[in-house]
A and B are shown apart, each in its own frame.
Chain A
Amino acid sequence: MPKLVIEIIHGPYGRENAYAGLFIAMGWVAVGNEVIVALHGDGVYAARKGQKDPMKEISLPSVEKQVMDILEEGGRVIADRTCIEVRGLDKEMLIMGVEVLDGDDLVELVFKEGERVITL
């Protein structure tokens, strides 16, 4: 099965990157492929649960919903543990189904599974 890794290092809403990357991920899994979304740096904020009605608040589509849709389609969304911790987040604050991996392990995985890698 064709594999794709999407790496996101920018937080949602302030820049289009998270939305754009997750949009590709969703299209990719929707046709039956395997995706890993790797969140590093500020990208981990995309995995935060409780993003309340961004469309109403700031006229931007919900990144939380994108993450949930991707997980529902069988995609993997993985946040870097160090990046989570330095931001004072923990797994309980993340959307259910989002995985947390140590940075080194996430790098290994990205290279192992990264037949195709998109960076945003």
Chain B
Amino acid sequence: MVEKKTLTIMLASAPLGSQYADHMCRVALRALEKGHEVEIFLYGDAVHAQMNHQSPKLFFPVGEKLKELVVKGAKVYSCEICSVARGYISGQLTPDGKKDYSSTKVLDGIQFTTIFGFVESLARADKVLSFGGG
């Protein structure tokens, strides 16, 4: 029985423009299948992977794979400030003092977090992988 460990993966490139998101999804799925915990952080242009209704037709279906990752137990975090910058969420404070992360544009199961959320994920990881930015 393999010892369960935590793998934290940073993705820094958007889907379609490169294969990094494809590689990331495959590696993450295999890690889950082998019984590991997987945490993913979408950073910079990679937040585009969270877009709802992606329909790549001829390309690797990153949106579908992300949904599958969520269903299979991966924690998928997305950079709040990067998502606000690119128009996915407002991130503004609501009257009850919480940040507004609501959006019709984002896949279910994506959790928004600041860089400190990613820092915490990095700290608890047994292993860390970096995809994209190249």
Number of A residues, CB within 8 Å of B: 18
CA of A120 to CA of B44 in the docked complex: distance in angstroms? Answer: 11
Known: A117-B128, A117-B130, A118-B128. A31 touches B12 (CB 8 A): no
B44 touches A33 (CB 8 A): no
A20 touches B133 (CB 8 A): yes
CA of A116 to CA of B129 in the docked complex: distance in angstroms? Answer: 8
Q: DSSP class of B's interface residues: helix, strand, loop or mixed? A: mixed
Q: DSSP class of A's interface residues: helix, strand, loop or mixed? A: mixed
B122 touches A20 (CB 8 A): no
Q: Assign chain B's interface to a size class.
A: 10 to 19
A116 touches B125 (CB 8 A): yes
A33 touches B133 (CB 8 A): no
Q: Which of B10, B44, B119, B128 contacts A27 (CB 8 A)?
A: B119
- Looking at A23, A26, A117, the one whose CB has the most chain B CB atoms below 10 A away is A23
